[in-house]
Structure 1
């Protein structure tokens, strides 16, 4: 059966269904891979989940792998989400991301009493704040729409800590500029800090971009464990001293995890307020 015949027949033999069966099977496999644990799933496991025979699953996965939509670990022969998915997500715009996450930021702001931001990576090697919720009656700088250097903020370090090594090298290929006395400009020291960030689960900044501002940030990870956005909580150092990091960091992590759940395939978007 060719593509035109499949489209006419429909996904499950329903005349006029208008859907292509082989494409639906590939999408089902892609969703199953995205729902896998970080180590991925084998062909046999994916075939069982999607109710396919192994030969069909293998051919579809080979096609998805060819287009970098999935990756196969040759040693374990297990499949995980490929880099093309992250690239598509990063170029799809941020309106949907903001819509799904804004009320999460609102709750985070209310709970902490501090500014909550959502940031995404930019192609130029920086990050940009795409949404922001500011506590009422608090005078503070506004960062919405502002692009900042990736190495000098908690958000940037939270993103770098979960990026593949090759991406980190590309993002940090230029000399690291210093903005305040606490900005980390030594690559070796920054690499060590990124390892700590990953182990701890969130990044911190102690006046590294602006001397009077401190913050924490946690990544929103996709199914493959790569960051698609970062949740930040920050404020003046007198309201956000280092002693609050252990409190604010887990709250940022919880908010990031909630946004990740909302971005998962099949998740419903929250109702508009």
Structure 2
């Protein structure tokens, strides 16, 4: 295994290499084989395997003494599959909503203190200067999808997320945690969230959460547009349609007690 320089942690890098060494063709590998393939000392490989085994990511076959991938990886993989399923299920609804409202419609998930854009649909008749928002990370307190995603978090998790300063991206960004909490109460009561020039000046948005079969919020959809067109009054008009679309997507993902 070649040495790398930069903002990486060598031990983590090596652990990742071990995990990636396993395959369908070679589901089990021994310390010696891993040492040879990765060009690492056997002692190092053994320590890494022991750590990965303690975390459930690697398991040892008691009969052969060789190692294989651990069952805890299934749960991690299911999280990725769940996001892929959300995208697959949501796409036709997002496209339909974008066409119906004539505004940009997006799908986002929560990752730490950010909302991450997974999908975006822009109506053909709209000329949008910035359409490459897929993959963009946005602080949760600055966007409607962020508020929709965190409004239903357990109190302990929400407190951790709001611990620390809330950066102001515009003069309209909410930076007081108590003010944000009050708005999150409204989100829970009415079933949708709004943002008025809090991420960028001149940008308004409305969002609604998506629920999985266990009733957990796993994503959120948003409709965004320029403030002169997507006015506060217009947002109040279209909010029920956004909530209804979110409900339809949630039902297709197995949710049964819609908002």
TM-score, normalised via structure 1 length = 0.62
Please report the RMSD computed on the Cα atoms of aligned residues, expressed in angstroms: 2.0
CA separation in 1, counterparts of 2:191 and 2:80? 26
Residue 160 of structure 1 deviates from its aligned partner by 1.2
- Distance in 2 between residues matched to 1:169 and 1:87, nearest whole Å: 25
Do 1:154 and 1:204's aligned partners in 2 also have CA atoms closer than 8 Å?
A: yes
After superposition, what is the alpha-carbon deviation per residue over 1:18-37, rounded to whole angstroms, capped at 9, x for unaligned? Answer: xxxxxxxxxxxxxxxxxxxx
Q: 1:102 aligns to what?
A: 91
The separation in 2 between residues aligned to 1:245 and 1:89, in whole angstroms, is 35
Contact 1:90 1:228 in 2 (8 A): no
Retained in 2: the 8 A contact 1:89–1:228? no
Q: Which of these two proteins has the greater Rg computed from alpha carbons?
A: 2
Match of 1:139 in 2: 127
Task: Please state how far the C-alpha of 1:247 moved relative to its aligned partner.
Answer: 1.6
Contact 2:166–2:175 (8 Å) recurs in 1: yes
Match of 1:165 among 131, 138, 155: 155
SS at match of 2:208: strand
Does 2:183 correspond to 1:190?
Answer: no
Residue 200 of structure 1: CA displacement?
Answer: 1.2
The size of the alignment, in residue pairs, is 180
Deviation at 1:213, TM superposition (A): 0.5
C-alpha distance 172-89 of structure 1, shift in aligned 2 (>3 A) = farther
Deviations 1:158-211 (A, max 9, x none): 111111111211222221000111110001111111001111110000000001
Q: Using a 3 Å threshold, how does the CA distance of structure 1 residues 224 and 166 change in structure 2: closer, same or farther? A: farther
Following superposition, the deviation at residue 94 of structure 1 comes to 2.5
Query: Residues 193 and 253 from structure 1, CA distance in 2 versus in 1: closer, same or farther, beyond 3 angstroms?
Result: same
User: What residue in structure 2 maps to residue 257 of structure 1?
Assistant: 247
Query: In 2 relative to 1, CA 89–216 (structure 1 residues): closer, same or farther, beyond 3 Å?
Result: farther
Match for 1:126 among 109, 114, 118?
Answer: 114
